Chains A and B, each alone.
Chain A
């Protein structure tokens, strides 16, 4: 579904990504973890071309990302993204947030779309909030709406960039629950997160990123059993000591 082939990126003299390669199959749930500043957010944003990279290639469902011929709009329709800070469009109601892109990009009919949007809102438990504006919703509700907005495009893969990092502890679970259900339904997911509990229970594979490199790429049980690099083990000990 997604192929990363020696992706390299620099900000001036600072190399953020030092040749990252990985393969994510259909239906896999891959958690990307690592210390802050390691480049994991940059990596995930390269996949839907929100960030550019200088060399290497990424394929999403066979579509090369770094190519002048690639229609970025079509690429982004394949890969839905959820941001750390939700980024619901503040001037639009929740329903309009969900309907905007499918209507403009996929030219879908209003009636079909409204039904789809309502279904998605019901799925994330927000059906009674459809006509409210984002500001009236809690952080957890906003993030669930943002997930529904990304799903409305019927993406092949969902990218999550620290989806729970901006949330109060009591709201983390409601978002993780939606993500867990999504994974159970077979959605291909790539998720940058510090939620090791989620990684342990839901993910199929872990990518441990440090200093711009994918240091570990292993199945979840191996990773937590300690069959990983010393750097990842140190990271895990640190996360365990500071988890809430």
Chain B
């Protein structure tokens, strides 16, 4: 058996079977992240509530889903739901498991962001007569979101790779499909290198996207803003020595 087969490497790299596995990985990540974010936002808001009826369930939820392995959660969902006569596809089970797990972590990130919004901003909104709901959507959420983009980026990056855990309930994503093909010609190194390359490609694409989102969210906070040329000269004199 040879040490490294370039032929094998490129064959697997061009394999539609592997490519579709990677596509499933992306789909699972995007869907779980979006649903997890909404659930995490709800959990974070509940956890910050002064009413125990709201904060305690949220605390229990975060405690439970961060305290048990994703692998166990997936197996319980996959084998438990049919016993309750709920029959879902492997993909649905995987997305439910990933969402529930991710939301628990995202809740803590979002909570940190909400805590970091200056209290003066909330007081000013209150003084203008905005309702608590309007304050949340117009002031607190937008300002918190900007603050949590870097840790959210970490979560997306992590989730891209964590999806591979779903192979335990036979979800045919990138990692599972690579392992299936290993049985075929035992080109472990070549196949896993291809998988690694796919993951790198996906995380790089996300890096790019995150930078764009960050750039957009930071727009109001850049000292140098697009203004008329005259004001651009005037700005450093008036603004910078004042701060």
Q: Which 4 A-B pairs have the closest CB atoms?
A: A101-B128, A87-B124, A138-B242, A76-B129
Partner of B130, one of A104, A135, A138, A149: A104
Instruction: Tell me if A105 and B130 are in contact (CB < 8 A).
Output: yes
| Smallest CB separation, B132 vs chain A (Å) | 10
Which one of A89-97, A176-184, A204-212 is at the interface? A89-97
Instruction: Tell me if A83 and B123 are in contact (CB < 8 A).
Output: yes
Instruction: Tell me if B220 and A91 are in contact (CB < 8 A).
Output: yes
Taking CB atoms and an 8 Å cut-off, the chain B residues in 101-143 that contact chain A are 118, 120-121, 123-131, 134, 138-139, 142-143
Interface string of A111-151 (1 = CB under 8 A from B): 00000000000000000100011111111110000000110
Residues of chain A within 8 A (CB-CB) of B143 are: 89-91
CA–CA, A80 to B128, complex, Å?
Answer: 7
Taking CB atoms and an 8 Å cut-off, the chain B residues in 206-236 that contact chain A are 219-223, 225, 227, 231, 235
**Could you jot down 19 A-B contacts, CB within 8 Å?**
A73-B130, A73-B131, A74-B129, A81-B124, A81-B127, A83-B120, A89-B124, A90-B220, A91-B146, A91-B220, A101-B125, A135-B221, A136-B223, A136-B225, A136-B235, A136-B239, A138-B238, A138-B243, A141-B238
Instruction: Tell me if B221 and A85 are in contact (CB < 8 A).
Output: no
Interface check A153, CB cutoff 8 A:
yes
Q: Looking across the interface, which residue of chain A has its beta carbon closest to that of B127?
A: A81
| Smallest CB separation, A151 vs chain B (Å) | 11
| Smallest CB separation, B105 vs chain A (Å) | 25
| Smallest CB separation, A145 vs chain B (Å) | 12
Residues of chain A within 8 A (CB-CB) of B121 are: 87, 89-90
Interface string of A38-70 (1 = CB under 8 A from B): 000000000010100000000000000000000
Q: Looking across the interface, which residue of chain B has its beta carbon closest to that of A149?
A: B128
Partner of B127, one of A48, A136, A138: A48
Q: Looking across the interface, which residue of chain A has its beta carbon closest to that of B227?
A: A132
Known A-B contacts: A87-B120, A136-B223. Give 20 more (CB < 8 A): A73-B130, A76-B129, A80-B127, A81-B127, A83-B120, A83-B123, A83-B124, A88-B124, A89-B121, A89-B124, A90-B143, A93-B220, A101-B129, A105-B129, A135-B221, A135-B223, A136-B235, A138-B242, A139-B242, A140-B242
Interface check A100, CB cutoff 8 A:
yes
CA–CA, A168 to B130, complex, Å?
Answer: 31
User: A132-B227, A136-B235, A171-B242 known; A92 and B126 CB under 8 Å?
Assistant: no
Q: Looking across the interface, which residue of chain B has its beta carbon closest to that of A168?
A: B242
Instruction: Tell me if B227 and A153 are in contact (CB < 8 A).
Output: no
Residues of chain B within 8 A (CB-CB) of A88 are: 124
Partner of A133, one of B120, B134, B221, B235: B221
Instruction: Tell me if A50 and B129 are in contact (CB < 8 A).
Output: no
CA–CA, A89 to B126, complex, Å?
Answer: 12
| Smallest CB separation, B50 vs chain A (Å) | 14
Instruction: Tell me if A133 and B220 are in contact (CB < 8 A).
Output: yes
CA–CA, A168 to B243, complex, Å?
Answer: 9
Residues of chain A within 8 A (CB-CB) of B125 are: 89, 101
Residues of chain A within 8 A (CB-CB) of B127 are: 48, 50, 76, 80-81, 83, 150
Residues of chain B within 8 A (CB-CB) of A91 are: 142-143, 146, 220
Residues of chain B within 8 A (CB-CB) of A89 are: 121, 124-125, 139, 143
Instruction: Tell me if A85 and B239 are in contact (CB < 8 A).
Output: no
Residues of chain A within 8 A (CB-CB) of B129 are: 72-77, 101, 105, 153
Instruction: Tell me if A104 and B138 are in contact (CB < 8 A).
Output: yes
CA–CA, A133 to B219, complex, Å?
Answer: 9
CA–CA, A82 to B114, complex, Å?
Answer: 24
Instruction: Tell me if A128 and B128 are in contact (CB < 8 A).
Output: no
Instruction: Tell me if B126 and A128 are in contact (CB < 8 A).
Output: no
Taking CB atoms and an 8 Å cut-off, the chain B residues in 171-225 that contact chain A are 219-223, 225
Residues of chain A within 8 A (CB-CB) of B123 are: 50, 83, 87
User: A50-B127, A100-B128, A149-B128 known; A90 and B242 CB under 8 Å?
Assistant: no
Residues of chain A within 8 A (CB-CB) of B142 are: 91
